[in-house]
Amino acid sequence: MISFEYSKSAKEIKTYPLLSSQRIFFLCWDFCGRNQLRAAMYPAPDRFCCCFTFEDGVKTQLHTHDYIELGYVVKGNFKQKISGKDIIFQEGDVCLIDKNCIHQDYLSCQDSIVLFFGIENSMFEEVMNEHITTGKIISFLQTALMKQSDLQQYIHFHPTRDARKEIEPCLSLLLTELYENKIGSTHICRGLLLRIFRILSTHYDFSLTRERQKNINWTVFEEICSYIQTHYQSVTTHELMERFHFQRDYFNRLIRKKTGMTYSEYLQNIRLEQAKRLLIETELTISEISEQVGYHNKGYFYQLFVNKYNMTPGKYKKRMLEHPCNPMPQHPE
């Protein structure tokens, strides 16, 4: 079950250890001090718990899996080398490692407990296909972890406030189901995995390789902007935080990076563009248009419109109806 490092270059491929009907298992590592590691795996053909003695800092042999591995640090911290980079996972952290990612584990005398869940590939895809979070982000996770065999990919999840209170009861129920392994356990485990991934998407931040972070930032930007453009009349940053599960400052940083505008400026631009359209295409009054695009103070709407387009809404409407092909002057940026 554990192979201590015997070569700097050899790579072991760990195959899924159970029958295909048993679609998830857990492995518990309990570093109990005195250079000892207790390990147990469930379900298993024969239940077992064994004890290893090791030298502090020794590593396991480089290896990959042919299944998805989800690791959770229950107590203390845990160090791994993933794709050549040393990473320390703190208490409450989660790591999701794809089936092609080369990694190895450091064994430490520090008192700590780590859980590893091996998820059979088709079960992982089923969980992802349930759309437990915003569609494009789930699509990204799918492709990052399952579809691109040439990439060695992992995702490091960091808990936000109260994250552990949400995820640990689900993990405890999952451990119980896997330990008892009763009839119907597979279906219950699948449901618990859905809950766990939902919590990861709502109560955890996550970090990726630099290339992947650029991709996810662009994916999130597209999804956020699509939502703002659809709900521009009443959208708030609090609403975006609730829906997309990021901090308020994140939206400003992301939108400024992609557009050169703050969130407020970006939303204002969308509203004023819609106001221009309504002025030309409808018979709504200026007050009605102001309300419809999200400005309940007509005077403030006038001020914003004049500042951006250098004319009042009424003058703009008249000019465009009389000279629809003439471009409209705007204040220089």
d(C-alpha 63, C-alpha 244), whole Å:
35
Cα angle 39, 40, 45 (rounded to 5 degrees) comes to: 140
d(C-alpha 301, C-alpha 294), whole Å:
9
Are 69 and 96 spatial neighbours (Cβ–Cβ below 8 Å)? yes
For tokens 């992301």, what's the residue?
A: 254
What pLDDT score was predicted for residue 144? 54
Lowest mean pLDDT among 20-34, 124-138, 179-193, 226-240: 124-138
Tokens of 230: 């659809």
d(C-alpha 272, C-alpha 233), whole Å:
11
User: Nearest Cα to 91, choosing from 72, 110, 106?
Assistant: 72
Which is it for strands 112-119 and 103-105: parallel, antiparallel or unpaired? Answer: unpaired
d(C-alpha 16, C-alpha 12), whole Å:
13
For tokens 């999952």, what's the residue?
A: 174
User: pLDDT, tens digit, for every residue of 198-224?
Assistant: 888 778 877 655 555 565 666 677 778
For tokens 């700097």, what's the residue?
A: 8
Confidence of residue 332 (pLDDT cuts 50, 70, 90): very low
Report the amino acid identity of residue 317.
Answer: K
d(C-alpha 192, C-alpha 131), whole Å:
15
Tokens of 78: 């845990």
What's the whole-model pTM score?
0.67
Cα angle 267, 254, 272 (rounded to 5 degrees) comes to: 15
Are 280 and 246 spatial neighbours (Cβ–Cβ below 8 Å)? no
Confidence of residue 95 (pLDDT cuts 50, 70, 90): very high
What pLDDT score was predicted for residue 298? 92
**CA-to-CA separations, 88 to 55, 108, 115, 157, 160, in angstroms, rounded:** 19, 12, 15, 12, 17
d(C-alpha 264, C-alpha 270), whole Å:
10
User: pLDDT, tens digit, for every residue of 40-62?
Assistant: 999 987 767 888 899 888 999 99
